[in-house]
Amino acid sequence: MAKFLGTLLAIIIGVLIGGYFMHQMTDINLKPEIHSEEESQVILEKIKKVFKIVVVEGEFADVFRYQDFYGWDLPGFRKTAILKVKAKVSVGYDLEQLKIKFDHTNRIIYIENLPEPEIIAIDPDISYFDLDDGIFNTFDEKTLTKLNKTAKDTIRSTALKSSLIPAARSQAIEMLDMITGVARESGWKVEMGTPEVPIDDPTKEPENERRIPVN
């Protein structure tokens, strides 16, 4: 009798274990495979030559809160959003209008149109910490684009009021001092501004020595 009960118990345990594994295998086989396809085509539309240098960078972080409502500030009519913004701001100089002239006779280097420092680039990383739609007031693509722009403009305004611009000016002074020192060692002098007397172009033939073509 004991042997019979042991055999029966072993059969029951075997059936339970087998049923468990069959259930697992069936559950796995019934799960549909997820197939996804992504396609992207990036086109270079325009190339523009620039002459800009970055002299200082700053990192900023901000939490931006937004809400609006239609008519009444009641649940269902209100939508809210909280954005976490991190951005790297690069400040430097646009040297497109900068002019450098050489007075070879007096060995003077003139630097003209030195620009003021400006924000060259803002590289933002914007994430939505909380996005709560109202039943009758939801976020659309236009509103989200507006939020991104507002967050970036806030970073720009904060950066302009920060110490980045003065730091860029100090960096430019250090660079000019270095250039002045190198020029001095070579027997040259550096001056800011336009020369009082126009500098003759050494590649241009003097008027009184211009050759008259012979027919």
pLDDT beyond 70 at 201: no
What is the arithmetic mean of pLDDT over 7-24?
52
Residues 6+ apart with CB under 8 A from 70: 77, 136, 137
Vertex 29: Cα angle to 23 and 31 (nearest 5): 105
Write the CA distances from 151 to 55, 58, 62, 130, 159, integer angstroms: 24, 16, 9, 15, 12
Query: Higher model confidence: residue 37 or residue 164?
Result: 164
Question: Residue 47: left (phi > 0), alpha (psi -120 to 50), or beta?
Answer: beta
Percent of the chain with pLDDT over 70: 65
Q: Which of 96, 103, 119, 109 is nearest to 167 (CA)?
A: 119
CA 106 to chain centre: 45
What is the arithmetic mean of pLDDT over 168-178?
91
Label residue 119 by pLDDT band (50, 70, 90).
very high
Label residue 161 by pLDDT band (50, 70, 90).
very high
Q: Where are the domains of the chain?
A: 52-202
pLDDT beyond 60 at 194: yes
- Write out pLDDT tens, residues 120-144: 999 999 888 777 776 656 777 888 8
What is the arithmetic mean of pLDDT over 178-182?
90
Q: Is residue 93 classed exposed, middle or buried when 0-12, 13-18 and 19+ CB atoms within 10 A define those classes?
A: buried
- Highest mean pLDDT of the ranges 11-20, 38-47, 149-158, 192-201: 149-158
- Write out pLDDT tens, residues 49-99: 788 889 999 999 988 888 776 666 566 667 788 889 999 999 999 988 888
Question: Do residues 158 and 124 touch, judged by C-beta distance below 8 A?
Answer: no
Residues 6+ apart with CB under 8 A from 32: none
Give me the helices (H) in the chain, please: 2-30, 141-161, 164-185
The pLDDT assigned to 33 comes to 58
What's the whole-model pTM score?
0.64
